Structure 1
Amino acid sequence: MAVLIQQLFNGIALGLVYALVAVGYSLVFGILRLINFSHGAVYAFGAHAALFFVGIHFGPIPAIICAVVITGLLGVLIDKLALSPLRKKKSVPIAALVTTLGISNIIQNMLVVIFGSQRKPFPDFFNLGMLNFNGIQMNSRQFVMFGVSLALLLVLLLVVQKTKIGLAMRATAQNIKAASLMGVNVNSIITLTFLMGGASAAIAGGMVSGYYQVVYPGMGFMIGLKAFAASVLGGIGSLPGALVGGLAVGIIESVAALYIGSNYRDSMAFIILIVVLIFRPAGIFGKNEVIKV
């Protein structure tokens, strides 16, 4: 039982990080109805940016803050240089999807050119020792991941649900043309969406790098797919759905690693994705859209 409780806590801590990455998918999809497959590469960029600032003797907190700012700006740059021109030309949706795949490849290769393809050690900033609760050993890194991820997710939910900016984002997500007619600056909202998505990915990248103490250019591939599965499970486009989906994926794969074997933990997210798409394609919090023709 102690081992099961420990694995459950591991899954919750990891699931909140998945949720933080899944937020990027949900924000962009909610506004533009676009799956941003470059998000995993943006996550890897954020982790490498944090490593760079650590390497020039920034402290852990300033390094992550600088990485968050730069990665958020990268998200804005992706939209302005690649996706905005496609929207202006009213290209088919598949064009933007393929573009995000290409951008992912470009970012990953850029990281290989600048930092090299090999795995690089990341400083163990968050290790404050082991904590013991009635025989259950908990690593302090997990508490940092849990606390930071949960706090940031709650802040994002409050921004979207309780502020005027959040109201503008929800209006844009519901109907871009109507929101524009009502005075909402749609372009600014889209820019803010990519900024928030990039920033959340950078924070997740910094925490996961500190947890595993390693970074490499391809690190965003698997976690990007898991976060996408989490966002689909919760209902893509829904921030509460991203939170619930991330927790579900994290807990299920941690428990599966205990009872089935660690070799199968990465496949659990995709098994969940297939089951959800079969029985509830809209996800837990998603709604089936009615398309008028």
Structure 2
Amino acid sequence: MDIVLPVLSSVLVNGLLLGILYAIIALGYTMVYGILQLINFAHSEVFVTGAIVGYEVFRVLTPTSLNPYLILVIALVVAMIVSGLLNVLIERLAYRPLRSAPKLVPLISAIGVSFILQDLLRLFEGLQGRFDLAVNVPTAFNQPLPFQPLGVSIQVKDLILLVVGAVMLFGLNRLVNHSRVGRAIRAVAQDRVTAGLMGIDSNRMIALTFAIGGALGGVGGVLFAMKFPNLNAYSGTIPGIKAFSAAVLGGIGSIPGAVLGGLVLGLIENFLGVISIFGSVFPKLAFLGAIKAEYKDVGAFIALIVILIFKPSGLLGRNTTEKV
């Protein structure tokens, strides 16, 4: 038990941090699906665009005498603006002309946009002689905290991830559920035609939703770049898939569901990454020793499939009836 308890504490803390990161990214998928019933597969590239913007800001400003927290704020704001505008541009050029098309058509368009953005990001960095990017995170963010929650040593950047993530999630919930703009977005999501008859500009609300989703992706990208400071144009693919899975696990279209799904997926992934330790501690579980950290992604998706078999609409999703 002297080994097991510290491991479980580490799984809990690190799973929470990873889960919040997944939740922030998952909200971008959830926002778009909630209003258009469209899976924006290009969101992973919007997210990695925010990460690369964060890299560029840190690269330029970290060697200066600016306060590291001011640098972080600049990185977050610039990433939110760039990613938000990029998402609006994607909606205007690739999705809006296809709204009346069969559902499969915008889905294929989303996949195409994803590939286009990957190569554009690769071209942008390649023209500057860079491809694999090492993020120059301010030294202050890599320092360990003076206190250890549950006996787990975490760094300042982990606390930043927790605080910024919590603020963004709380702010989005207030915006969607307790503001005039949020009511307009929910009205368009419920019935676009009726919302238009009541004076709500559906196109504007949809564009605003894409902007919010993109901004969240930009924030998630900067936090990801701080947490995992090795990037390239394709770094958003795996986190994007996991965040989408978290959104589905929680209930696609549900903001609380995206948060819960991210936390559950983060905890499962971290637990499976260290499960081999239990095989060395408990002889009857020796077979667990064969499950190495590389299998954590496989195990996480197996757990996802099992949960969805028993709860197809997601943990907080609601079954809907098809209108005819």
Identify unmatched segments of 5+ residues in structure 1: none
**Aligned position for 1:286:** 317
Contact kept? 1:25, 1:197, Cα under 8 Å = yes
In the aligned structure 2, how far is the partner of 1:57 from the partner of 1:193? 31
Larger CA deviation: 47-56 vs 131-140: 131-140
The structure-2 alpha-carbon separation of the partners of 1:130 and 1:261, relative to structure 1 and needing over 3 Å to count, comes to: farther
* The one of 93, 117, 124 aligned to 1:114: 124
Q: How does 1:246-257 map to 2 (within 5 A)?
A: 246-257=262-273
In the aligned structure 1, how far is the partner of 2:151 from the partner of 2:83? 40
Q: How does 1:50-129 map to 2 (within 5 A)?
A: 50-57=54-61, 59-87=71-99, 90-116=100-126, 118-125=131-138, 126-129=141-144
Contact kept? 1:172, 1:186, Cα under 8 Å = yes
The structure-2 alpha-carbon separation of the partners of 1:177 and 1:250, relative to structure 1 and needing over 3 Å to count, comes to: same
Identify unmatched segments of 5+ residues in structure 2: 63-70, 276-290
Contact kept? 1:44, 1:219, Cα under 8 Å = yes
In the aligned structure 1, how far is the partner of 2:167 from the partner of 2:267? 19
In the aligned structure 2, how far is the partner of 1:243 from the partner of 1:281? 17
Amino acid at match of 2:306: V
Give the CA deviation at 1:132. 4.1
Tell me the secondary structure at the aligned position of residue 277 of structure 1.
helix
In the aligned structure 2, how far is the partner of 1:135 from the partner of 1:91? 55
In the aligned structure 2, how far is the partner of 1:119 from the partner of 1:110? 15
The structure-2 alpha-carbon separation of the partners of 1:32 and 1:53, relative to structure 1 and needing over 3 Å to count, comes to: same
**Aligned position for 2:10:** 6
In the aligned structure 2, how far is the partner of 1:19 from the partner of 1:268? 19
The TM-score normalised by the length of structure 1 is 0.94
Identity, in percent, stands at 38
**Aligned position for 1:263:** 294
Contact kept? 1:230, 1:269, Cα under 8 Å = no
Listed one character per residue, the Cα deviations across residues 194-252 of structure 1 (whole Å, up to 9, x for unaligned) are 10111111111111111122211111100111011100111000000001000000011
**Aligned position for 1:36:** 40
**Aligned position for 2:237:** 221
The TM-score normalised by the length of structure 2 is 0.86
In the aligned structure 1, how far is the partner of 2:146 from the partner of 2:306? 37
In the aligned structure 1, how far is the partner of 2:162 from the partner of 2:21? 8
